[in-house]
Amino acid sequence: MRVAVDAMGGDYGPDEIVLGAFQAAQEYEQEGIEIVLVGDQAQIIQALDRHGKWKEGNITVQHASEVIDMHDSPGAAVRKKKDASVVVATGLVKQGHCDVVISAGSTGGAVAAALFGLGRIKGIERPAIATPIPNLTGTTVLLDSGANVDSKPKHLVQNAIMGSIYAEYVLNIPRPRVGLLNIGEEESKGNEQAFTTYPLLTQLNSVNFIGNVEGRDIPKGTVDVVVCDGFVGNIVLKFGEGLASAILQLLKQSIKSGNLWTKLAAMLIMPTLRGLKKKLDHAEYGGAPLLGVNGGFIICHGSSRAKDIKSAIRVAKEFTEQEVVAHIRETIAKEGIVTNE
């Protein structure tokens, strides 16, 4: 299996991206993983050389001279910067040379590159980003977490199908409970979008729809797949990141400002705190797949470090081996969803 890694994207590219890919290449070599690092060849090789012997290994470099950054308008940039690292990486999948792309670059740029380069699965009008969130008992997948805004009810229906497949095949949750994110449990609650989506979700054969869920159900873990508009999903996700890090920071501050006993306690409790942080840390969950395009595409957080990239490569491996794209294609056809805008 070949993984195309956009080496230039993200806050810590190319160094941390290359390091993560290098570690994954070593660790997963026996499992048949090959990494293609895409981006500025000189910079990538310089970074690889720092990490040791790689030339005889399972890493190759594909040069790309441009980068799509946060200031680019995604749609225009993908068309104009034909040699951008994320565009070239996506092309490797399109051409069948690689199986899956990983990018920590501009999310808009990644979505545009995937749409433009791979196209949509028949029946899917708007691909969605599915982000795994840790909860008290396991993981909840939230989608869409930012690929689209102003989604129509039919788009949320498509999200429900795709999210359910991802949860079942990659997160190993049998018959995942799928909920519609809303402001109350009753069917009559919510905005126009939710109100119209609810009855459509009850008609799906492939989805175990449990009804409306509220914000608090996500951390509680009473739902496996949460369906929402990308505007809401993105705000919830970023609020959660901010809140978790604020809570840990408050805890550390109050420990530091304590007396000798509190400081001793803090030392004893640090492993627990670190374990908690790990649980909350998106790194452990690797990337979030863009579901609905004709090929594997894993989007990483812009602040991804080496360990995040390594995690994302593991996710990419699962995604590919479990044939998520094929499952989506079949299920969408079975549900009788044939629209493509």
For its own copies, the closer of residues 150 and 341 by Cβ is 150
**Shortest Cβ distance from residue 250 to its own copies (Å)?**
6
**Shortest Cβ distance from residue 46 to its own copies (Å)?**
32
For its own copies, the closer of residues 91 and 127 by Cβ is 127
**Shortest Cβ distance from residue 240 to its own copies (Å)?**
6
For its own copies, the closer of residues 204 and 273 by Cβ is 273
**Shortest Cβ distance from residue 339 to its own copies (Å)?**
22
Amino acid at 61: V
Reported in sequence order, the residue ranges of the chain that DSSP labels E, i.e. its strands, are 2-6, 34-39, 59-63, 100-103, 128-129, 131-134, 139-143, 177-181, 208-213, 225-227, 288-291, 296-299
For its own copies, the closer of residues 80 and 238 by Cβ is 238
For its own copies, the closer of residues 42 and 183 by Cβ is 183
Helix 15-27 vs helix 41-51: crossing angle, to nearest 10: 60
Name the site residues for its own copies (rule: CB under 8 A).
135-136, 146, 149-150, 181-183, 190-192, 194, 214-220, 228-232, 234-247, 249-251, 254-255, 258, 261-262, 264-269, 272-273, 275-276, 279-280
CA distance 233 to 15: 30
For its own copies, the closer of residues 92 and 194 by Cβ is 194
CA distance 141 to 134: 9
- Exposed, middle or buried: residue 221 (CB in 10 Å: 0-12, 13-18, 19+)? middle
Amino acid at 62: Q
CA distance 159 to 26: 35
**Shortest Cβ distance from residue 237 to its own copies (Å)?**
7
Distances (CA, A) of 264 to 255, 268, 269: 9, 6, 9
